[in-house]
Amino acid sequence: MKSFNILLVLVLGLFVFACGPEKPSLTEHQIIPLPTDVKVSSGAFALSKESSIQIDGDSQGLDWVGSHLAQKIEGALGDQILVSDAEGDIVLRVEAGENPEAYRIDISEDKVLIVASGEQGVFYGVQTLLQLMPNDIVANKILEGPILIPAGTIVDKPEYAYRGSMLDVARHFFDVEDVKYYIDVIAGLKYNHLHLHLSDDQGWRIEIKSWPKLTEIGGSTEVGGGEGGFYTQEEYKDIVAYAAQRYITIVPEIDMPGHTNAVLASYAELNPGVNLANGVLDSLTKTPLNYEMPLVNPQPAELYTGIEVGFSTFATDLELTYQFVDDVVREIVALTPGPYFHIGGDESHVTAKEDYIKFINRAQDIVQKYGKTSIGWDEVATADLLPTTIAQFWGDEENALLAKSQGNKVLMSPAKKTYLDMQYDSTTRIGLHWAAYIEVDDAYNWDPANYLEGLGAEDIIGVETPLWTETVTNREDIEYMIFPRIYALAEVAWTPSALRSWVDFEKRLAMTSKRWDLQNIQYYKSPKVNW
């Protein structure tokens, strides 16, 4: 009888052990973008409300990263997590190294160590660590038992230095909270630039104190005739600071000399007109006068709420135009610590070629005067580029190669792969399809370094994925157009092409979608993915 009782205890013990929480393994992770190297170990780290976060480095930014991690997990643990320089079981460490974006994570049953040579790398390591946690971490409820994180080592670094997304706030205006939401999404995917398209024919979206009618008139509408809106300079600074805290650089764009109807509706004197100096000859020398005279009867443009392009242009011969550009660049640069200013330059169909070249050359000089590097859509390569200017390839392959021939770098945004406003297929409820229908596998299955013959990795600064908003009116629309493609493009920009596989990515994407369900994100359920 005694032997039988002992046997029963052993059997029950084995049963309890077998029915205990299953320990996760790094062999089935859902990390996006895919890290450079993942090594699997046995066991798991048990994160509980008794756990603490140790900051190993004298850095205010690192303190914020620790608080950011704590905030992400406290809801699931049901208690606050201590963040300090005292010994803890999750260690965030900065140590000497070459690439501040690279990081390493070591996870054992006793400790988690995230180490990088810069705060940015630690932040990226935290994003990866959060993806290793159960999907219920985002469910806004207290989880039963500890949060198990699979043991192993992850070593990671980005393929491209510039990894960006663009949000068009000109066609439809999005308020500060929507922009911050967009920042949070891309920060979690290790994007490091947010390009804000701040002006277009349909609206002007940032306060310029020296030209107040820009927002009073130009900011008053949007596509479809809505009330539009704009950011005050204080609101814009708030966006810049919020992004910087998440290691995202804001790239402001003022599109010119085309896509300028909102400006021309605000200030009639910037419209093209008859310049008297062009037709008046000096009575003695019979040569054109070498001074500029006013335009005859300049009229303000009508406010525009459609989506056609290519019909507007600045008066490129007017010196006042360049004073306007100078004032706008000066005020925005004072609010933007990042290195870039985007001068647009696309689709200036009614600007004469010689006038376009003259304008782009002068715009670059103005941006350089204020200590910034110009970025322009690929048409700017038809002008004389300054050595630092970056051409953003979106449509014309010859322009991208022309930029290379001038010795300039190219930012890859091919519309057929990266434009998030394109429909997924002919049944997509919003979006356009002039470039292509872009399914999630189309967004994933391309290599920036091999996309254009004659343009290699050494010519490319990075990848940017734009969301134009002709048909996008609210946050739900944003989610529908970017989820899941913004995940695919994050991996294109971060992970070497030799490591990428659609079959593997599709599995990780399907696992990740469980979080979107818990967060009530309105994503597109592509038939290409086994959700």
Query: Which residue numbers are catalytic?
Result: 347
Both tokens of 321, joined, read 């135009």
Beta carbons of 90 and 51 less than 8 angstroms apart: yes
What dihedral angle (degrees, nearest 10) is formed by the CA atoms of 321, 410, 424, 429? -20
b/e burial code for range 44-68 (CB count within 10 A of at least 16 → b)? bbbbebebbbbbbbebebbbbbbeb
Both tokens of 472, joined, read 């996008």
Using CA atoms, how far residue 21 sits from 8, 18, 24, 234, in Å, is: 22, 8, 9, 50
Beta carbons of 448 and 427 less than 8 angstroms apart: no
Q: Cite the DSSP H helix spans in 95-175.
A: 119-132
Q: Are strands 162-168 and 460-467 parallel, antiparallel or unpaired?
A: parallel
In whole angstroms, give the CA distance from residue 379 to residue 348.
9
The pair phi, psi for residue 383, each rounded to 5°, is -95, -175
DSSP 22: P
In whole angstroms, give the CA distance from residue 283 to residue 88.
86
In whole angstroms, give the CA distance from residue 314 to residue 316.
6
Using CA atoms, how far residue 83 sits from 50, 80, 87, 111, 134, in Å, is: 12, 9, 10, 15, 22
